[in-house]
Amino acid sequence: MGTALIDVTERLFERMVREHQNRVFALGLALTGNRHDAEEVAQDTFLKAYRAMVTYPPDRIRDLKQKAWLHRIALNVVRNRARGIKPRMVELNGSEPDQAIGTEDGALLNLELDALAGRVSALPARYRDAVVLRHVQELSYEEAADALGQPVGTVKANVHRGLKLLRGDDDDHSDD
C-alpha cells in the first residue's frame, strides 16, 4: 500500500475513533457490565478495525457502514472474550472514553447506570445484543440487523423479548 493511501486510511481511522469511541465504549459497557472490560472491548474493537482497514481497497473503505461495522466487530470481541479469548490492551492515541462525572449526583447516576448495565449484561446474548444495539446504541432495527447479521424480524423479536425479561414480565426462560 502506498504512503499516501496509508496516510488517508490513518486519517479516516482517527476520525472514526473520534466519532465512535464513546458509542463503542457504551456498547462494551452494556454488554459486559464492567467499565474496565468495556475499555478493553473498545480498544480491541478499534485495533481490529484498523488492522482490517489497512488491508481494504479504497472503495471498500469509502462504502463502509462504519457504525454497523464497528458494532459487529465489538460484538465479536465480546463473544470471543466470553469464550476465554482475551484481547491485548493497546493505546489508541491516548484517547479514553469520557470519565465519570465527579459530583455526588454523578456518582449516583453512575451507580444506577452500572446496575442497569449489569442487568442488561446478564440477559441471554441474543436478547442482550439486540436490546443494546437498538435502545442503548440507538441503531435502527435495520442497522442492528446488519450489525448482527440477522433478519430485521428476528432483531425485533429479540428486542421485545429482552425488554420483557428486563422488566421482569416473563418468568418463562425455558428457551434460553
Sketch the domain layout of the chain as residue ranges: 3-88+105-167
Banded pLDDT at 44 (limits 50, 70, 90): very high
Query: Residues 84-96: pLDDT tens digits?
Result: 644 433 333 333 3
Banded pLDDT at 48 (limits 50, 70, 90): very high
Banded pLDDT at 97 (limits 50, 70, 90): very low
pLDDT at position 100 = 41
**pLDDT mean across residues, the chain:** 78
Please, which residues have CB within 8 angstroms of residue 74's CB and are 6 or more apart in sequence? Answer: 24, 27, 28, 31, 41, 42, 45
- Fold exhibited by the domain 3-88+105-167: Butyryl-CoA Dehydrogenase, subunit A; domain 3 (1.20.140)
pLDDT at position 86 = 42
Query: Residues 141-171: pLDDT tens digits?
Result: 998 898 899 999 999 999 999 988 888 775 5
Q: Taking residues 65-94, what's their average pLDDT?
A: 69
| Range from 92-96, 124-128, 135-139, 148-152 carrying the lowest mean pLDDT | 92-96
* Percent of all residues in the chain with a pLDDT value above 90, rounded to a whole number: 25
* Percent of all residues in the chain with a pLDDT value above 70, rounded to a whole number: 73
CB 57 within 8 A of CB 146: no
pTM of the model: 0.59
